[in-house]
Amino acid sequence: ICLKSRVNFYTLLAGIIINSAVLFVAIWLNYFQLSIVWILAILVFFPFFTIIRQLIEHRDELAASDAEYYRSQKRKISRLFNSSIFSRLFGSAGFNKHMIHHWDPHLPFTALDKAEVFLTHCDRTREIMVKSKTTYFSAFKKLWLARK
């Protein structure tokens, strides 16, 4: 097993153990409502909000809703989000700096803030970053209003 696969495996295993422990303790203490809500959060809400986040980060507001993009070329979209508390929580693991992640995927998420500061010293990247900087709410609103 390569190192990356091993890390992914252990991360998945840790998630399974922690969530199972929460469910086990909730059931053991007769907090059945908590266990039901926890299961819903894992199976419904987390995937839903993850998909919404990915759409906000990558979806082009000019994209046609009836186009089959797996067959045709589309514009590359990646946004740079502000550093608000919501942005840091919703775009977890540094994904509020999503554009920088796409420019250099090998950078660890802990270095994305420093990379943003570094990239602002270059006129070309600063110009792109300023034009692309937004919030999750305004990007969602723009996508919502552009739908056809």
Range 72-91 average pLDDT: 77
What does pLDDT average to over the chain?
84
Question: Who has greater pLDDT, 72 or 77?
Answer: 77
* pLDDT at res. 72: 65
The C-alpha atoms of residue 116 and residue 119 are separated, in whole angstroms, by 5
Apex 130 CA angle, 129 and 135, nearest 5 = 90
Q: Which residues contact 55 (CB under 8 A, 6 or more apart)?
A: 143
pLDDT band at 50 (very low <50, low <70, confident <90, very high): confident
Residues 85-118: tens digit of each pLDDT? 888 777 666 578 888 888 888 888 888 888 989 9
Range 8-14 average pLDDT: 81
Question: Burial of 85 by CB count in 10 Å (0-12 exposed, 13-18 middle, 19+ buried)?
Answer: exposed
* Residue 48 scores a pLDDT above 50: yes
The reported pTM is: 0.71
Per the DSSP assignment, residues forming a β-bridge with 133 are 80
Least confident range from 19-23, 32-36, 129-133: namely 129-133
pLDDT band at 1 (very low <50, low <70, confident <90, very high): very low
